[in-house]
Chains A and B, each alone.
Chain A
């Protein structure tokens, strides 16, 4: 019986990792690479990730680009509207650490989305290539499998920020 349930759990894990609906926040030029990734040539949808228009339907938030202080509030509100379990991907140097707008270089830019939200996967690059973004998504899928294997995705997420 335990065998059947463990197999069912594997099935549920497979279903969850391969049906990620993501909310895509295109904040600057990294958004162009992200659009390219979802387009016909690279086609992110073959990994099961599909773009949705509303944060209420999404379980993955992809932040691509630099975040201004004015936009930070909106970003937080979007994250709060998403249902648990939820993940965040930071694409590009700006979303990762502030990039070229970090600290003394800009008065209005947040130094990384991790100042506001818990980030699961960082994709470095300025901007990263579509292959890198795809690798980021596959890394996230592996991380979700790992967390589900521990059967406590929430605890593991709060105790260690990296999946």
Chain B
């Protein structure tokens, strides 16, 4: 239960930044505002009751209104985990990179930057990871419109399919 204590402590330390604490599905969630990302990442990795030294997963989803980032943190020293969530405006989503604290975030952030258009400040590289270099748009967003084609190849077979 030490991660619950840790989250309570975090909320007392950053009363404005931590907006919500939730326990459900056997997991502990905390929602934080993206402005306080730097200090929250540092506290999570260094705090005596937290000591989250492993970023297990960093994922993103489009909720329709916002782009939501989900950080799954695990402490190999204290054997507990916590899930941090933050919502970013879909017009210009940007957040500080987590690579300075957890290096594992490097390729996750590259992928999210490409597929969701999130800008990670102070990220080391901006080389495209999965998509071609001149790809337009962010494919994993809900308002993404499929391309008519790419480099002279028309998209689709031109055969009408039955609507789902």
Q: Give the total of A residues in contact with B, Cβ under 8 Å.
A: 16
When the two chains form their complex, are residues A111 and B157 in contact, meaning their CB atoms are under 8 A apart? Answer: yes
Cβ-based interface call for A107 (8 A)? yes
Across the interface, name the chain B residue whose C-beta is closest to A97: B157
| Interface hits, A33-86 → B, CB 8 Å | 69-70, 72-73
Interface segment out of the listed A19-27, A98-106, A119-127: A98-106
Of the residues A70, A72, A107, A112, contact of B157 by C-beta under 8 Å: A112
CB distance from B160 to the nearest CB of A (A): 9
Cβ-based interface call for B64 (8 A)? no
Cβ-based interface call for B146 (8 A)? yes
Cβ-based interface call for B150 (8 A)? yes
Of the residues B144, B150, B157, contact of A69 by C-beta under 8 Å: B150
When the two chains form their complex, are residues A104 and B153 in contact, meaning their CB atoms are under 8 A apart? Answer: no
CB distance from B135 to the nearest CB of A (A): 8
When the two chains form their complex, are residues A103 and B131 in contact, meaning their CB atoms are under 8 A apart? Answer: no
Across the interface, name the chain B residue whose C-beta is closest to A116: B153
CB distance from A17 to the nearest CB of B (A): 31
When the two chains form their complex, are residues A111 and B151 in contact, meaning their CB atoms are under 8 A apart? Answer: no
Pick from B139, B154, B155 the residue with the most CB of A within 10 Å: B155
CB distance from B133 to the nearest CB of A (A): 9
CB distance from A47 to the nearest CB of B (A): 31
Bound complex: CA of A104 vs CA of B158, how far in Å? 11
CB distance from B148 to the nearest CB of A (A): 11
Cβ-based interface call for B16 (8 A)? no
CB distance from A110 to the nearest CB of B (A): 6
| Interface hits, B117-164 → A, CB 8 Å | 131-132, 139, 144, 146-147, 150-151, 153-157, 159, 161
Bound complex: CA of A111 vs CA of B161, how far in Å? 14
Contact string, B91-112, partner A, CB cutoff 8 A, digits 1/0?
Answer: 0000000000000000000000
Given contacts A69-B132, A69-B151, A70-B132, contact A104 B161 (CB under 8 A): yes
Across the interface, name the chain B residue whose C-beta is closest to A115: B153
CB distance from A119 to the nearest CB of B (A): 13
Chain B residues near A151 (CB-CB < 8 A): none
Of the residues A69, A97, A102, A107, contact of B153 by C-beta under 8 Å: A69
Cβ-based interface call for A108 (8 A)? yes
When the two chains form their complex, are residues A103 and B155 in contact, meaning their CB atoms are under 8 A apart? Answer: yes
When the two chains form their complex, are residues A108 and B139 in contact, meaning their CB atoms are under 8 A apart? Answer: yes
Pick from A97, A98, A103 the residue with the most CB of B within 10 Å: A103
* Shortest beta-carbon contacts, A-B, top 9: A103-B156, A69-B150, A111-B157, A70-B132, A107-B146, A107-B139, A115-B153, A111-B156, A102-B157
Known: A69-B150, A103-B155, A108-B139. 17 other contacts (CB 8 A): A69-B151, A69-B153, A72-B150, A72-B153, A97-B157, A102-B156, A102-B159, A103-B157, A103-B159, A103-B161, A104-B156, A107-B144, A107-B155, A108-B131, A111-B155, A111-B156, A115-B153
Binding site for A on B (CB under 8 A): 131-132, 139, 144, 146-147, 150-151, 153-157, 159, 161
